[in-house]
Structure 1
Amino acid sequence: MRPGHVDLRRPDVPPRAVTVGALPQDLTLDLTRTAVVVVDLQNDFCHPDGWLASIGVDVSGAGAPVAPLLETLPPLRAAGAGVVWLNWGNRPDRANLPPGVRHVYDPDGESTGIGDALPNGSAVLTEGSWSARLVDGLVPAPEDVVVSKYRMSGFPDTPLDSVLRRMRVDTLLFAGVNTDQCVLATLTDAAGLGYDVVLVEDLCATTSPQFCTDATLYNVRQVFGFTTTSAQLRAALAAS
């Protein structure tokens, strides 16, 4: 850019092709047009002092993706893939939450719902609170992008789609919790918007029964996209 002239061309990035073992077929991806979307690995969903645990949900397995994520994200970044951290972080005044969404998380109107205080004083799923913070051990890199969401899916009423298109991303690798809820809802919307979607099985977890994961994997492979594992991703990166 200079006075009297603006160059609107985007810089060309040399492709970085990698072939990954996946289901129902192996995949070849351009990692420079790929981003990892990490969904809701935050205290309210994963920590024993968080919201889900406070209402009696067993969250003991929700943090399982943390260790493989810490092993997988650095080589993906080094290969040119982007990373987007997508956490539920609602407005403190809850002004953008319709009654139906508030009801789901506080069905009797007298329980601890979105924006209410936990025993530790944190406001449930509220942007800027401990509740919405990533679990210990996960720290965004300077080049990563952080987006707040307000529904099961990360696309409605958020800048997620704009961010991904600015990154010139075509393929999304999905990680986070819960596999069958917020991860699946975001993946489904992404597929509908034209992104190629890949669920990374061991980078996801859920507090739901096993049959929910089984159904999610079946549907992702059958009608939305593909599934792979972090070990398959790392092996592909090492081979390339």
Structure 2
Amino acid sequence: MKSIYLVLDMQNDLVHPDGASGKGPLGEQVRSREIIARTAAAIARARAKGIPVAYVRVAFSDDHREANPHSQVFGPIAKNGILKKNAWGGAVHDELAAQVQDWDIVKHRVSPFYATHLEVLLRREGIERIYCSGVSTQAVVQATVRDAHDRDFDVVVLEDCCASPSAQEHENSMASIARFCTPVSASDAFV
């Protein structure tokens, strides 16, 4: 079964200790769960198995014109000026750096399928299985799993490469999507 690994929203503003969210509860969970190191190892394993890697980034123009100012999620992002597409905060964490052949999927909403070219690329490449992980579990991971499932992809979540602002939120999120995907540890993925 042809597969891809989607690395979801692992951007400096969200996961780096100096990032806007990296300084708060989400960043604490990313560090305590060793998400960066685990994700870097998972990327290396995927590449070693010949599985392509795609980076999904939630990012906006400098003026945040794509962000809904009335959204509970995107309004504060625009107000605080974070996750700019071409700025440090919107870039993928350096330890997870993309290679030239990797995909860069920029999205302006929670789901990586909404108004992006992700599905077109997946279909063109004959992808049937999506491995995914990232932050946060209750947002992009859940949205990816549900949308991919409904598009008839087999979905595998690397549970120990995901985090939410609290351990409880992460656990609740994984429990709610378990029927739509196969949760595994990163060491058991890409077999």
TM-score of the aligned structures, taking structure 1 as reference length? 0.71
Q: In the alignment, which of 105, 109, 133 is matched to residue 147 of structure 1?
A: 105
1:40 corresponds to which residue? 9
Q: Matched residues in 2 for 1:206 and 1:85: separation?
A: 18
Q: Matched residues in 2 for 1:66 and 1:230: separation?
A: 12
Deviations 1:46-78 (A, max 9, x none): 123222256x54512225222122222223223
Structure 2 residue runs of 5 or longer lacking an equivalent are none
| 2:140 counterpart of 1:182 | yes
After the TM superposition, which of the residue ranges 150-159 and 212-221 deviates more from structure 2? 212-221
Q: How many residues align?
A: 189
Deviations 1:195-236 (A, max 9, x none): 1111111111221x32222222222222x12111111126x4
* AA of the residue aligned to 2:144: T
Cα offset for 1:105?
4.4
Cα offset for 1:157?
1.4
Structure 1 residue runs of 5 or longer lacking an equivalent are 1-29, 107-112, 118-122
Q: Aligned with 2:171: secondary structure?
A: helix
| 2:18 counterpart of 1:49 | yes
2:170 corresponds to which residue? 213
Q: Aligned with 2:70: secondary structure?
A: helix
Q: Aligned with 1:97: secondary structure?
A: coil
Deviations 1:113-157 (A, max 9, x none): 32456xxxxx41111111101113111122211111111111111
**Aligned-residue identity in percent:** 26
| 2:123 counterpart of 1:160 | no
- Over alpha carbons, which structure has the higher Rg? 1
How large is the Cα RMSD of the aligned pairs? 2.0
Deviations 1:15-42 (A, max 9, x none): xxxxxxxxxxxxxxx2xx1001000111
Cα offset for 1:189?
1.1
Q: Matched residues in 1 for 2:149 and 2:12: separation?
A: 28
* AA of the residue aligned to 1:217: M
Q: Matched residues in 1 for 2:61 and 2:67: separation?
A: 9
Deviations 1:146-180 (A, max 9, x none): 11111111111111111212221111011111112
1:60-71 to 2 correspondences below 5 Å: 60-63=28-31, 64-71=34-41
* AA of the residue aligned to 1:114: I
1:127 and 1:60, CA in 2 relative to 1: closer, same or farther beyond 3 A?
same
Contact kept? 2:145, 2:181, Cα under 8 Å: no
Q: Aligned with 2:155: secondary structure?
A: strand
Q: Aligned with 2:133: secondary structure?
A: strand
Say which structure is richer in helix.
Answer: 2
